[in-house]
Amino acid sequence: MRVDIYRRAEAQDRYSHLVVPEGYAIPGEAINTDWESERRGQDLDETASQWPQFGISEPGRQLRDKGYAITSVDCQTEA
């Protein structure tokens, strides 16, 4: 699946990531923070159990259920 990837800075030099299908806008419930574009049109396997480089578990389920996949608070990545 082709996706657009956003990130935001967190405490202690860590990052959260938000992934949406390519060309889709960030959903309303997730736009209340300052996301910066990291990559556009990235090809990722949504059937993978996780995207560890983004700290995202169950990306396929998250994309189906919410329309986006997001980093869990306890899985934020290092800067």
In the predicted model, what is the mean pLDDT of the chain?
90
Q: Provide mean pLDDT across the span 34-47.
A: 94
What is the pTM (predicted TM-score) of this model? 0.88
Query: Domain coordinates of the chain in residue numbers?
Result: 2-78
- Over the stretch 41-57, which tens digit does the pLDDT of each residue have? 999 999 999 999 999 99
Predicted confidence at residue 79, as pLDDT, reads 67
Per-residue CA distances from 24 to 13, 20, 21, 34, 54 (Å): 28, 6, 6, 17, 19
Are residues 6 and 18 in contact, defined by beta-carbon separation less than 8 angstroms? yes
pLDDT in tens, 59-75: 999 999 999 999 977 67
Which tens digits make up the pLDDT trace of 4-29?
999 999 888 889 999 999 999 988 88
Number of Cβ atoms within 10 Å of the Cβ of 26 = 16
DSSP per residue, 5-30: EEEEEETTTEEEEEEEETTPPPPGGG
